[in-house]
Amino acid sequence: MKLVITLNIIITMLINNVYCSAGDNSPYYQRCVENCELLNCTRDGKEFRENNQPLINKYTFWNCHHECEHECMWKTVEAFHERNWRTPQFYGKWPFIRVLGMQEPASVIFSLLNAFVHVKMIKKFRREVRSDSPLIWLWHAFFIVSVHAWTWSAIFHYRDFLLTEILDYACAFSMILMNCYVMTMRLLYDKLPVYILSGITLIFLLFLVSHIGYLSLGHIDYGYNIELNIAVGTFTALCWFTWCIYNRSNQRYVWKCAMYLALSGLVLLLELIDSPPILYIFDYHSLWHLSTAPLNIFIYSFAIDDCKYLRNEMGEIPKKIP
């Protein structure tokens, strides 16, 4: 657990430096973009022509301005390498080879892989857990929020706009908050009356809506966003670990939850590696997405065992949904 907290602190310290990029700040790049737009773009930047032939694929949302930025990005990378300089970042991102219009192809594919694993595991969950089991609704809510978040992650990495960026951050936080909500409901489900649980649910919903509203107003404060995610994620992990240790003797399956948390913290190390993408396709952020996909097997396996345990302990009871 100390490792997770330490990693969170380091990421918080680094986040302020992520968006300071040598590539887009270089005079070479800025002159290149300016000249490219002057020669090829209309005033609104929506057309990009060479020899009167349009070079935009309208279905990938790359207009003239974006095409100029992409072309000049690689020219700047080449100029940096000719001087034996390190590969630069552009607007806080490493340069990536564009594949089928995808700005960051590996992150797109691995985000969809995470969503696919959620779909496969919820099907397994439904096969093995009886529909009258306690908290079955909670894990279905967890599934819906997670798939929704990973879908927007794929869209954001496909094309980085202000709208897709806001939705990616909002949905990523919704997934972290949902983990906290699942933990809260599991720990308090059999201890509090339904009206108090409903009040807790309303608090979580209002908190999520307020955060999304804050982001939607254009307040993309990267430092605040990462700190909030870290605070909620660390609190959730601490509570889960404490609960797992307390129940390890009578609920032996809780090791799956603990393993999910421990491995999630371990793969977070990939986010600390700051180097150009392998083959200009696989950066360490995308490899982090890849590594999180199989971890979902642990949490759903835990959910299956836990719902079976609750049904055996509590019997067939009326559904208690806050």
Residues 134 and 272 in one domain: yes
Q: How far is CA 109 from CA 113, 290, 296, in A?
A: 6, 9, 16
Q: What is the pTM of this model?
A: 0.81
Q: Please report which residue ranges of 83-104 form alpha helices under DSSP H.
A: none
Q: What is the pLDDT of residue 117?
A: 96
Same domain for 252 and 303, yes or no, is yes
**How does residue 69 score in pLDDT terms, banded at 50, 70 and 90?**
confident
Q: Is residue 64, in this structure, part of any structural domain at all?
A: yes
116 and 49, same structural domain? no
Q: Is residue 110 part of a domain?
A: yes
Which of 47, 69, 91 is at the close of a domain?
A: 91
Most confident of 56-65, 131-140, 206-215, 270-279: 131-140
Exposure string over 303-319, b if 16+ CB within 10 A, otherwise e:
bbbbbebbbeeeeeeee
Mean pLDDT of the chain: 83
User: Is residue 265 located within the same domain as residue 131?
Assistant: yes
- Give the chain's domain count: 2
Read off the amino acid at residue 160.
D
Q: Where are the alpha helices (DSSP H) in the chain?
A: 2-15, 22-25, 27-40, 64-82, 105-128, 136-158, 162-188, 194-216, 222-247, 255-267, 284-292, 296-314
Domain span holding position 253: 105-314
Instruction: Kindly state whether residues 72 and 203 are assigned to the same domain.
Output: no
Where a domain ends, among 91, 115, 142? 91
**Residues 117 and 189 reside in one and the same domain:** yes
Specify if 184 maps to a domain: yes
Q: At what angle do helices 255-267 and 284-292 cross, to 10 degrees?
A: 170
* Domain presence at residue 205: yes
Do 109 and 59 belong to one domain? Answer: no
Instruction: Output the pLDDT for position 10.
Output: 41
Q: Do 26 and 158 fall within a single domain?
A: no
Claim to verify: residue 213 and residue 242 sit in the same structural domain: yes
Instruction: Looking at the structure, tell me whether residues 310 and 249 fall in a common domain.
Output: yes
pLDDT classification of 37: cutoffs 50, 70, 90: confident
Do 202 and 73 belong to one domain?
no
Does a structural domain hold residue 127?
Answer: yes
The pairing of beta strand 53-54 with beta strand 49-50: antiparallel
In a domain, 182, yes or no: yes
- For residues 70 and 62, is the Cβ–Cβ distance under 8 A? yes
Residue 302 pLDDT class (50, 70, 90 cuts): very high
Residues 42 and 130 in one domain: no
Kindly report the number of other CB atoms within 10 A of residue 126's CB atom. 15
In a domain, 257, yes or no: yes
Give me the mean pLDDT over the 30-55 stretch: 65
User: What average pLDDT does range 218-245 have in this prediction?
Assistant: 85
Give the end of a domain, one of 91, 113, 143: 91
The CATH number of the domain holding residue 260 is 1.20.1070
Whether residue 16 is contained in a domain is answered as no
